[in-house]
Amino acid sequence: MEPNGVNSAEKLEVLLVCEDPPQMLPALEKHFEVHVQLDAHISDALPAAAKHVCALVTGTLVGAGQRLINSLPDIEIIACTGGHVDRIDMAAARVRGIPVTNAPGISAPDVADLGLALILGVSRRLIESHHFVRDGRWPEGGMGFGRRVGGKKVGILGLGGIGRIIARRVHAFDMEVCYSGPGRKDDVSYPFFDDLSEMARHVDYLVVCCPESPQTRHLVDMPVLRALGPEGMLINIARGAIVDEAALIEALAQGIIAGAGLDVFEDEPHVPEALTAMDNVILQAHVGAFTTEAKLEMVDVTMNNLLNHFAGQPLPNPVG
């Protein structure tokens, strides 16, 4: 499928404002003239030619604000390479009548896999043990004990696509599942808690999977962490701001909770030194969706959205 009007002599113009996935640029260049501007917040810095692009391609962590959208007078479509569009100003797009597309659900299994890996890693002290062996300390004596995961209870905050996959994954480890969120799901039998602190008090692991919003900012606060307790562990594979990071640092330092596995932080890519100095925390660089397979699928879906639009065909993945 080729966009209308695209031929060897003339190509429609696209603005790319994200580096992820890296395969996106060469895929776009096969069909479009591509302008790259990786700082999506400085619309004044756009090249003059880029201000006449007909499509904007962005990522979940970059998004597109009102200023950027309004600086592109000829834009016809905004294509997000991932599933979340919370950093795209949907109201600004609607005012202009600009359709927004995404690539939903592709990385959900990968993010869930990392969540499971963090549960196992922090429980069995995998990173500590790795350094213990690599640093040559084993001959001086054995390591301390880790914790069994089988038979433990997992509370999932946000039983959406990722949360449901985690539930299936941990069930294979003989772990009990319950969940909390804005409402009960009629199609699952897992116990539901409408009070997050009550669920935290009930479980051994609290896994954060919900979207970031004004309602979920710092939803996991000190009262929730105290309810999770000195044997409990926090896993966050959603967004950093959902957890009160200062409260989490205090809870870890004082033994209010036992440990944490974190793929996201409040001020990425800056991670507090207090967290990097702790042995009971596993830290990741927001890599839950970073698998080669997921990135290639995201490119395919994004290209299909763009090519369908310019060919006058229905959009495969419209948002809103």
The answer to whether 197 and 224 are in contact (CB under 8 A) is yes
Nearby residues of 117 by Cβ (< 8 Å), 6 or more positions away: 261
Query: Catalytic pick from 239, 245, 266, 309?
Result: 239
Assess whether 169 carries a catalytic annotation: no
Whole-number Cα distances in Å, 144 to 72, 132, 148, 237, 256: 59, 11, 13, 27, 20
Fold match between 13-104+292-310 and 108-283? yes
Written as tens digits, the pLDDT of the chain (320 aa) is 555 544 444 789 999 998 888 899 999 999 999 998 876 565 556 667 677 899 999 998 889 999 889 989 999 999 999 988 988 999 999 999 999 999 999 999 999 999 999 999 999 999 999 999 999 999 999 999 999 999 999 999 999 999 999 999 999 999 999 999 999 999 999 999 999 999 999 999 999 999 999 999 999 999 999 999 999 999 999 999 999 999 999 999 999 999 999 999 999 999 999 999 999 999 999 999 999 999 999 999 999 999 999 999 999 999 98
Assess whether 286 carries a catalytic annotation: yes
Nearby residues of 129 by Cβ (< 8 Å), 6 or more positions away: 143
**What is the CATH topology of the domain spanning 108-283?**
Rossmann fold (3.40.50)
CB atoms closer than 10 angstroms to residue 28? 23
pLDDT at 21 (0 to 100): 86
pLDDT at 287 (0 to 100): 94
Which residue type occupies 4?
Answer: N
The CATH number for 13-104+292-310, chosen from 3.30.365.10, 3.30.70.600, 2.60.120.650, 3.40.50.720, is 3.40.50.720
pLDDT at 300 (0 to 100): 97
pLDDT at 7 (0 to 100): 45
pLDDT at 8 (0 to 100): 40
For the chain, which residues make up each domain, given as ranges? 13-104+292-310, 108-283
Query: Catalytic pick from 33, 212, 268, 297?
Result: 268
pLDDT at 6 (0 to 100): 47
Q: Is 280 exposed, middle or buried (0-12, 13-18, 19+ CB in 10 A)?
A: middle
pLDDT at 38 (0 to 100): 75
Assess whether 84 carries a catalytic annotation: no
pLDDT at 45 (0 to 100): 60
